[in-house]
Amino acid sequence: MAKALIGYRSSDLFDPHLATDNARLRARVGELEALVLSLCSENDRLSAQVAEHGLREEMQDLSEMQPA
């Protein structure tokens, strides 16, 4: 099972086509992992901006309130 998850195949040593495909797929997985990290970081940044903007609006609303 572990070999299947890692993508290791003993036949890769003998079949250059499989070795090339395996290398291409590993490279693509690396690209997708980098994309996920980039999107997570952008999402965190945008979430912080939304939270900050919401807090500013709330503070502004409170400052506009008049005593009863």
Q: What tens digit of pLDDT does each residue of 17-49 get?
A: 888 999 999 999 999 999 999 999 999 998 888
> Read out DSSP for 1-68?
-HHHHHT--GGGGT-HHHHHHHHHHHHHHHHHHHHHHHHHHHHHHHHHHHHHHHHHHHHHHHHH----
For the chain, give the percent of residues with pLDDT over 90.
Answer: 37
Residue 68 lies in a domain: no
Residue 36 lies in a domain: yes
Q: Has residue 67 got a pLDDT over 90?
A: no
Higher per-residue pLDDT: 20 or 13: 20
Range of the domain at 23: 2-62
Distances (CA, A) of 52 to 40, 45, 55: 18, 11, 5
Residue 31 lies in a domain: yes
Residue 37 lies in a domain: yes
Residue 20 lies in a domain: yes
Residue 14 lies in a domain: yes
Per the structure, the count of domains in the chain is 1
User: Is the whole model's pTM more than 0.75, yes or no?
Assistant: no
Residue 67 lies in a domain: no
